Copies of this chain bind each other. A is one copy, B any other.
Amino acid sequence: MTADAVTQVLDHVDATLDAALDRLLTLLRVPSISTDPAFQADCDRAADALVDDLASLGFDAAKHPTPGHPMVVAQDDEGEGLHVLFYGHYDVQPVDPLSLWHRDPFDPQVEDTPAGRVIRGRGAADDKGQLMTFVEACRAWKAVHGRLPIKVSMFFEGEEESGSPSLVPYMKTHAEDLKADLALICDTGMFDPRTPAITTQLRGLAKLELVITAPDKDLHSGMYGGAARNPAHVLAKILADLHDDTGACTLEGFYDGVPELTNAQRAQWENLGFDAAGFLGGVGLSIPAGEQGRSVLEMIWSRPTCEVNGMTSGYTGAGFKTVLPSRASAKVSFRLVGTQDPQAVLAAMRKHVEARVPADCTAEILDANGAPATVMPIDNPAFEAARQALSDEWPRPAAFIGCGGSIPIAGYFQDILGMDSLLIGFGRDDDQIHSPNEKYDLESFHKGIRSWVRVLDALSRV
């Protein structure tokens, strides 16, 4: 397409932004929490809404059942040349603690804040807002030019926030329908509000729930305390022993397959001007908690982690109950890098637990699963084309960056469909995804749509 042709689409995006925003707010009103069975019908409703919208744009769109929440798959073959598969997820995180939200998480609204206008609500950033940037870019191309500049398929799942149990089986069974030349994924962030990013290094994830049972029922601590094993003590010891005094994880073989940064990577990252004090200060902290001798950027992008995501035991209500609990449990996850093997990490965790559980207590390990880290080949020319397109839209040139979060889908696209993924997203560090008061900046939404308009054009010329 000519530069003029692209400008026409960008102008259309600007002129129709309010309608695009209304469509996003409608989608955000659906409480599609995938991890909680109580919201199953809502997940289904979100999938239906996407199918209807894509069909209205001329996509061949359908909802496909799975043992869990349905997949949405849509194709548009009118474009030429390169074929891309855009991935997103329509499910959202749970909202608790609800008391910390300053508005109903599923009654989204645009709010004026000192830092600009934001779309407030669960899923605004993760991932409904991001997903809709791409859908709206396609809508604008079709509205102005009648068709897309390349072939576009879309693939939306509804289980991303609950471990994607149906994803791999579905991809394997439907590989032929999903296969394209390149995947596009919009579930990541900018480097900073002025600097767009393509994420090329993703940490993997291994996770499990650990349940320690000591006495077979809750006991009176006065009657049994001192003599009966307290599972909260056993759990505390297991969790405390996961890290040594230098912040390193103590699991046997944990650092096998963890690569050192190359000098080139280290130099590129040092040039980004990352504000480590500001990053920690933004959440009320000042002392990096990770391995001593590593930079904060290494801690969050290129080093593996071991984190307790939740734990509970005994009486946690108001007041005091001098109970000696029967059970104590924790949810633990590991972010993985390089060629760390998730199964080996989970096995080392099992061994760590077994060594610390007294013979008369039991330790159950539930829901253990994982996915390895992913590294994208940035010599694929689509990466540089997309980087240029993003650089045209934003104040500063786009960067190839790492990401602390795990987006296992990128690994699956490589392993199952043989596709590389362009991970482009417009989230910001302060979006509070997975937390109360999630938001997505109106600028992220608007310039995100414009960015995809440019990227679609750029990919038509690769």
Contact = CB atoms under 8 A, between A and B. Distances in A.
A311 B287 contact: no
B313 A310 contact: yes
A305 B226 CA distance: 5
B283 A228 contact: yes
Contacts of A196: none
A114 interface: no
Contacts of A307: 221, 225-226, 230, 233, 322, 324
Given A222-B406, A240-B240, A303-B226, A309 B289 contact: no
A35 B324 CA distance: 17
B309 A322 contact: yes
A436 B299 contact: no
A11 to B, nearest CB: 35
A395 B103 CA distance: 66
Nearest to A37: B318
B323 A220 contact: no
A328 interface: yes
Given A309-B221, A405-B220, A319 B36 contact: yes
Interface of A: 35-37, 93-94, 96, 100, 161-163, 189, 203, 205, 207, 209, 214-230, 232-233, 235-237, 239-243, 276, 279-280, 283-291, 296, 299-300, 303-305, 307-325, 328-331, 333, 335, 358-361, 367, 403-406, 429, 432-436
30 contacts: A35-B321, A94-B319, A96-B317, A162-B320, A214-B285, A220-B433, A221-B305, A222-B405, A223-B433, A224-B283, A225-B333, A226-B291, A226-B300, A226-B303, A226-B304, A227-B279, A227-B280, A227-B296, A227-B299, A227-B300, A229-B285, A230-B307, A230-B308, A236-B236, A308-B314, A308-B325, A309-B322, A310-B315, A320-B331, A322-B333
